[in-house]
Amino acid sequence: MTDNTKKATFAGGCFWCMVKPFDQWDGVHRVVSGYTGGSLENPSYEDVKAGNTGHHEAVEITFDPNMIAYEDIVEIYWQQIDPTDDDGQFQDRGESYRAVIFYHDQEQKVIAERSKQALASSKKFTKPIVTPILPAVPFYPAEDYHQDFYKKNKQEYQNDRAKSGRDEFIEKYYES
């Protein structure tokens, strides 16, 4: 990794499904599953699942902006979520599964807001775009067994993803 890396942080439902879409791009050095947005320091999966920490399951992406622009990363993000759902994502319900863009600087905030407005203006969705754009707060990596889950537990990942309805949603709104 070079000194020129930046971070992007997104919550989009189950973090297992949010790693692979970013992991495959040149310029993305690392995608870490974890927790952010809450009050408890160093939360565990059990803490977050209990629902009283305020944390979201999220991914923190380390990328080289000379190889992949933040604008492109935000566009990849939108194509992984239902931006009209403010109570979770697909089969995963509740605050810890809500979609959120966490910006790391003013430039990211402007880019994310402009992208959100463009998505709203596209009329792709009949319901309003409700995904909040919030300042980044401490990010806590999830336990090792959650990291690169799609690689380490292929069958379980595929089964979970198939049950979620995420792929059908993506196909309907982004691949048609």
Amino acid 157 reads Y
Interior CA angle at 164 toward 80 and 41, to 5°?
70
Rounded Cα distance, 148 and 109, in Å? 27
Amino acid 88 reads G
Based on the residue annotation, tell me whether 17 is a catalytic residue of this protein: no
Compute how many other C-beta atoms are within 10 angstroms of the C-beta atom of residue 132: 14
| Helix H or strand E segment including 16 | helix 16-23
Q: Which of 8, 14, 81, 129 is catalytic?
A: 14
Residues acting as catalytic residues:
14
